[in-house]
């Protein structure tokens, strides 16, 4: 998802969370919840990749939740026929400031 949604950015975790959130949901409450799920997963991913360990508070349901969100995100990208990361960025920016 970093390759699909990010382009050489420094704040990967926050940007990835925002992009998935804004691609999928328009209601603030939904966005907050989804942001937290993606953020939790990205922290878990970082822990595994950088230290070879899962965190102490690993939730098995997280894998099912993130899998569902990632599938929905890919569907959204394909349905809207985004041609580049820049098009996705422009879409996200328009949604952020509606």
Please spell the DSSP secondary structure of 25-77, one letter per residue.
--SHHHHHHHHHHHHHHHHHHHHHHHHS---TT--HHHHHHHHHHHHHHHHHH
pTM reported for the whole predicted model: 0.77
Number of neighbours of residue 53 by Cβ within 10 angstroms: 10
Quick: pLDDT tens for 49-70. Answer: 777 777 666 788 998 999 999 9
When pLDDT is cut at 50, 70 and 90, the band that residue 45 belongs to is: confident
């Amino acid at each position: 998802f970093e390759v699909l949604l990010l382009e050489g950015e420094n704040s990967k975790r926050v940007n990835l969370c925002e992009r998935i959130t804004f691609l999928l949901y328009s209601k603030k409450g939904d966005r907050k919840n989804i942001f937290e799920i993606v953020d939790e997963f990205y922290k878990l991913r970082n822990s595994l990749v950088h230290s070879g360990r899962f965190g102490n508070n690993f939730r098995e349901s997280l894998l099912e939740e993130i899998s569902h969100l990632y599938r929905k995100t890919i569907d959204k990208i394909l349905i809207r026929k985004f041609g580049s990361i820049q098009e996705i960025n422009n879409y996200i920016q328009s949604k952020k400031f509606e």
